[in-house]
Chain A
Amino acid sequence: MSKRVFFLVPFLVLFGLGVAFYFGLFAAAERGQRVIPDAMVGKPVPNFDLASYRSDQPGLNTADLKGQPQLVNFFASWCVPCLAEHPLISKLAEEEGVIVNGIGYSDTPENIENWLKRHGNPYARVGVDETRRIGVDWGVSGVPETYLVDAEGKIVFKYGGPLTRQVIKEEILPLMKGLSR
């Protein structure tokens, strides 16, 4: 009989382990929740200074993003979803009075100038990041991508993909309102 109990030992060890793992899982889940979802959110805007698409147009640099909350929108003339969100951005700038800056990503100044001429230019300032160097610093994964920067020049919100009415209504405008107060 005692010999049989001996053969039960592996099972009992496993049982103990199972209990430990079970509680460990919830500790792990708690730990996981403390992680910030996006690396750049909560951090100051990276240092950069970009020229515009034409020398007589205002470019965009780190200092321009201080003083009041504003949006930075990464776009490109080759990007179809950018065109899709363009009317919404124009509306934000014209009707809601939000300052929107554009960064033309992986694109030439000529293409950007033509594109803005054809579809309208809602941007307060435009920088051209032809080499993608600045986009890398911002953590851009693709275009379009929109960042909300507060008055101190800190990134408070990031949205990847074309903006939608819902995101503007439920996320961007309430955040903007909170920041301007």
Chain B
Amino acid sequence: MIAEIGHFALILALMVAVVQGTVPFIAAAKNHMGGMRLASSAAIAQFLCLAVSFAALTHAYVTSDFSLLNVVNNSHSLKPLLYKVAGVWGNHEGSLLLWVLTLTLFGLLVAVFGRALPPGLKSRTLAVQGLISVGFLIFVLFTSNPFERIPVPPLEGGDLNPLLQDPGLAFHPPMLYLGYVGLSITYSFAVAALIEGKVDAAWARWVRPWALLAWVFLTGGIALGSWWAYYELGWGGFWFWDPVENASFMPWLIATALMHSAIVVEKRDTLKSWTILLAIVGFSMSLIGTFLVRSGVLTSVHAFANDPERGVFILLLLMISIGGSLLIYAWRAPNLQGGGYFKLVSREGALVFNNMLLTVITALVFLFTLAPLIFELFEKQITVGPPMFNFFFVPLTTILVLALGVGPLLAWKRGDWADAKRRLRLALLLTLILTALSAIVVWGRDAYALVGVALAIWLTLAVIVEMAKKAGWPRQSLSGTLRRAIRLPRASWGMTVAHIGVAVVIAGATGASLLTVDKTLSMRPGDRTTIAGFEIEFTGAEEVNGPNYIALRGHYTAYADGQAVSRFEPERRRYIANGQQTTEAAIETHSWYDLYVVIGDQTKNGGYVTRLYHKPLAPWLWLGSILMMLGGILSLTDRRLRVGAPRRAAAPIHQPAE
């Protein structure tokens, strides 16, 4: 009964979406206020319908209602409650439902918080959202209905893929979807602006918070996924350039570019058609990401179902939505008038450079991700591994980070190169000294690691220099600079914190990939071995029963200078429902390093395969990601984004205290 209510709400949502996707367009063209207001009501109604539908499916999972095909295939009554709930989106049908729910959530947010928007722009934006909804709801209802019943309900379900039964992964998809789908708002804003033929500073100011919000969630989603891979896959990697990882990384890169180029539109009234294109491409990348995961076009660990019928449907959806918006772009964008003139050495110049690099990186990631597919069309098989991605990604990112240190120091319109150089001289010198010091610490490990360390130090110092400049240094005394720095607008703080986050992530990535020490050996109870100054003792292993798995649990103790400092209990789990195995690494996190222990199969001599890793700076990856998100959130709470007129000039220092 409850499942039928969910199904019915879904059909109702489709009808509401059809209204939302058509009426406001006509009303906006005829300047009919009532028709335009309908867009907001429809957006709220659509969200409510989907909330009911989603709640119904969640109810079916929580109560293990095995009369639903979707629940049978993806749940098990022994599964802990958290994973029963997470199981709702751990499969094709449910994740699509979550996708549409998120889409309507953003529609609701625009309807409720977009009071200041001009009615024409608002109703057209919501109408574009409505059309996206129509496409996806048809897809859900006709090819992937999560509420399908089966005539003979079995007693037990097939369980959720055990790799997905993990707290990190339980929240990874919703977070990532908030990011993916958040980009639909900037997309809808872009298409609405193209239809209206008007892109100005005000438009950029409305779009930027949405781009920021989507970016914050994307950052969080990607970081969660990476964290999960780090501790669950059991070989200590955090990024594998897997097609689906790339599918989330590309929208992130574009969203990053969009956030920055929207600043130029807002402050300088130029780069308009480029910004519009980024907004369209950002969401397109999300859609392509969805397509890549769902269709099985690219072989990946994440693929849910290989079903060409669904694939063709998503492809069609993709071509209509992206193709349609790009056609409108080709028709309208040439008429957008660019405003401000600027020198090459200026804030605009630096932001254009940032955009160019980010776009080139995205294009290369895209090409390398799709290379196997393109080669397959010519009957050839290739695999593109991480070394090929790193080959272009590392140098391009290096240039990006070097420039990132300088860019914010340049003024709008015409930057002062000599002043920037003078201010950065000390930062450069300090970078060289600190890098030389780190060279002594990590001597003989990996020369490339020093490049990463140097970049992280450089960026941190350059960010501090920029903050000091904004706060009045060197005209002010040290204490005066500090006092003013605290009172800088939150957007400035947001930028500072996010950029430092980038530096911390670079340091973490360098440590986790280039400075790692690892050791694989067979250990018998009582055996001892050393790694990076620690002595590790294997005290034994036992079999333990979990709620829906049986695990082999190893016991290890780490000693430093003869003192026991930590204990490790890595597990190797075997899930009852389908016999799949997972590894649960035991990780001890310290501020400067992770110690990481994995237990494997039993060997012939009675020992267990044990892998040990010492990963310097690895926890900084997650710390840096959190800083980046925090920066985004700080920026979002800046009152200039909430109220007030667009400003033409850079932020003045004497901002009223908040």
| Chain A residues within 8 Å of B, Cβ to Cβ | 3-4, 7-8, 10-11, 14-15, 17-18, 20-29, 31-32, 39-40, 79-81, 131-133, 135-143, 160-161
Query: Across the interface, do A20 and B377 meet the contact criterion of CB distance under 8 Å?
Result: yes
17 residue pairs from A and B, CB less than 8 Å apart: A7-B333, A10-B281, A10-B326, A10-B329, A11-B329, A21-B295, A21-B373, A24-B297, A25-B308, A32-B296, A32-B306, A39-B579, A81-B155, A132-B576, A142-B154, A142-B156, A161-B154
Query: Across the interface, do A141 and B577 meet the contact criterion of CB distance under 8 Å?
Result: yes
| CB neighbors of A among B264-285 (8 A) | 273, 277, 280-281, 284
| Minimal Cβ-Cβ distance residue in B for A18 | B319
A residues near B156, Cβ cutoff 8 Å: 141-143
| Minimal Cβ-Cβ distance residue in B for A141 | B577
Q: CA separation between A31 and B307, bound complex, in Å?
A: 11
B residues near A31, Cβ cutoff 8 Å: 296, 299, 306
Query: Across the interface, do A160 and B578 meet the contact criterion of CB distance under 8 Å?
Result: no
Most chain A CB neighbours (cut-off 10 Å) among B297, B306, B312, B315: B297
With A11-B330, A28-B297, A142-B154 already in contact, the answer to whether A136 and B550 are too (CB < 8 A) is yes
Distance of A25 from chain B, by nearest CB (Å): 4
B residues near A40, Cβ cutoff 8 Å: 579
With A28-B308, A31-B306 already in contact, the answer to whether A136 and B326 are too (CB < 8 A) is no
In the complex, which of the residues B284, B312, B545 contacts A25, with contact meaning CB atoms closer than 8 Å? B312
* B323 interface contact, C-beta 8 A: yes
With A18-B319, A32-B306 already in contact, the answer to whether A141 and B578 are too (CB < 8 A) is yes
In the complex, which of the residues A23, A32, A160 contacts B377, with contact meaning CB atoms closer than 8 Å? A23
Closest 9 CB pairs of A and B: A142-B156, A32-B306, A11-B326, A29-B308, A139-B579, A25-B311, A8-B330, A141-B577, A24-B297
Query: Across the interface, do A142 and B155 meet the contact criterion of CB distance under 8 Å?
Result: yes
With A14-B319, A20-B370, A32-B306 already in contact, the answer to whether A137 and B299 are too (CB < 8 A) is no
Q: CA separation between A139 and B579, bound complex, in Å?
A: 5
| Minimal Cβ-Cβ distance residue in B for A132 | B576
| Minimal Cβ-Cβ distance residue in B for A138 | B579
Query: Across the interface, do B306 and A135 meet the contact criterion of CB distance under 8 Å?
Result: no
Categorize the interface residue count of chain B.
35 or more
* B376 interface contact, C-beta 8 A: yes
A residues near B334, Cβ cutoff 8 Å: 3-4, 7
B residues near A21, Cβ cutoff 8 Å: 291, 295, 297, 315, 318, 373
Query: Across the interface, do B376 and A27 meet the contact criterion of CB distance under 8 Å?
Result: yes
Distance of A168 from chain B, by nearest CB (Å): 16
Distance of B155 from chain A, by nearest CB (Å): 5
Q: CA separation between A21 and B284, bound complex, in Å?
A: 14
Given contacts A10-B326, A28-B299, 12 further A-B pairs with CB under 8 A are: A4-B334, A7-B333, A7-B334, A11-B326, A11-B327, A20-B377, A21-B318, A21-B373, A29-B296, A32-B296, A81-B155, A141-B158
A residues near B376, Cβ cutoff 8 Å: 24, 27
| Chain B residues within 8 Å of A, Cβ to Cβ | 76, 152, 154-159, 273, 277, 280-281, 284, 291, 295-299, 306-308, 311-312, 315, 318-319, 322-323, 326-327, 329-330, 333-334, 370, 373-374, 376-377, 545, 550, 574-579
Q: CA separation between A132 and B159, bound complex, in Å?
A: 16
A residues near B155, Cβ cutoff 8 Å: 79-81, 142-143, 161
Most chain B CB neighbours (cut-off 10 Å) among A20, A39, A80: A20
Query: Across the interface, do B273 and A7 meet the contact criterion of CB distance under 8 Å?
Result: yes
B residues near A28, Cβ cutoff 8 Å: 295-297, 299, 306, 308, 311
Distance of B362 from chain A, by nearest CB (Å): 13
With A21-B291, A79-B155 already in contact, the answer to whether A7 and B377 are too (CB < 8 A) is no
Query: Across the interface, do B277 and A136 meet the contact criterion of CB distance under 8 Å?
Result: no
Distance of B307 from chain A, by nearest CB (Å): 8
| Minimal Cβ-Cβ distance residue in B for A13 | B326
Query: Across the interface, do B370 and A141 meet the contact criterion of CB distance under 8 Å?
Result: no
Query: Across the interface, do B323 and A11 meet the contact criterion of CB distance under 8 Å?
Result: yes
Query: Across the interface, do B291 and A135 meet the contact criterion of CB distance under 8 Å?
Result: no
Q: CA separation between A17 and B319, bound complex, in Å?
A: 9
B residues near A29, Cβ cutoff 8 Å: 296, 306-308, 311
Query: Across the interface, do A135 and B327 meet the contact criterion of CB distance under 8 Å?
Result: no
Q: CA separation between A23 and B322, bound complex, in Å?
A: 19
| Minimal Cβ-Cβ distance residue in B for A139 | B579
Q: CA separation between A25 and B423, bound complex, in Å?
A: 55
Q: CA separation between A133 and B56, bound complex, in Å?
A: 35
Query: Across the interface, do B578 and A39 meet the contact criterion of CB distance under 8 Å?
Result: yes
A residues near B322, Cβ cutoff 8 Å: 14
Most chain B CB neighbours (cut-off 10 Å) among A4, A133, A141: A141
A residues near B306, Cβ cutoff 8 Å: 28-29, 31-32
Q: CA separation between A141 and B157, bound complex, in Å?
A: 7
Distance of B274 from chain A, by nearest CB (Å): 11
